[in-house]
Amino acid sequence: MRRIAVVLCLAFTIRTPGQAPSTYDTGVGHGNPPIPTVQSQLPNSLSAGVTAHPFVATYKLSSSRATRYRTFAVRSDGAVMTANSLPDANGHILTARTIELRDRYVVAEPMTRSISTYKPYMPMIVALQDCGGMPDEMILGYPTEVIQQGRTTRWLAVDLNCLPLREHAVWKNGREVTREAISVTLGEPPAEYFNVPSDYQERGPADLNAEFARKFPGQQLYDEVVVDRMQKIYERSRPLTP
């Protein structure tokens, strides 16, 4: 059975005032969309007067297996959208999106017209000027600081909320994966990137997988090995309802 990769999120550094930077790796190089595993211990809010630098960045992800592309958008309120595709000629994202909002985390999958909704699991991005690394080269005209975390090296953009503009990882099996920004557009992203469709049906990973297989026989969104674990995470990470 063929598996379709839905969304691969980015690793980025975020910090609330007075705290040390923390880098969140949400699944670079893996085939399943990011699913909350542990609720963040950092507050999911911004201090008064503190906002993120808004922008849209596109990335090229290269490995020995394939070359892929990704879109990453940050709003000024710190919300984040990620998609495993580039915008089309009209600027629209036509593939699945992950959307991290202040009150919830949503996977929106258009081929089955489904959404999966979770509690928020990462603090919102805030504007930083100290990424916690050593000054390094300019990338796309932005100064960076480089940090080494285990087998992964990241070049963080000082003026873009310490977003990694380049990342190089070496897996335990020796496979190397490089992700590098190919464009950055400053300013608020299109509002539609963060739209959660009201006419989509709420489905957990198991139901979403089954619906996709029903519509597209022989294909699936999630690896069968992990779908049960993902379903359990979904069930215990549902947002509270009034």
Dist. CA 180–CA 12, nearest whole Å: 13
pLDDT digits (tens, 9 = 90+) for 48-65: 444 788 999 999 998 877
Dist. CA 222–CA 208, nearest whole Å: 9
Q: Which of 85, 81, 94 is nearest to 52 (CA)?
A: 81
Q: What is the mean pLDDT of residues 211-215?
A: 92
Query: What is the per-residue DSSP string for 189-214?
Result: PPGGGG---TTSEE--HHHHHHHHHH
pLDDT digits (tens, 9 = 90+) for 121-153: 766 677 766 788 899 999 999 999 999 989 999
Q: What is the model's pLDDT at position 48?
A: 46
2-236, which class in CATH?
mainly beta
As to burial, measured by CB atoms within 10 angstroms (0-12 exposed, 13-18 middle, 19+ buried), residue 177 is middle
Dist. CA 9–CA 72, nearest whole Å: 8
Domain definitions of the chain by residue range: 2-236
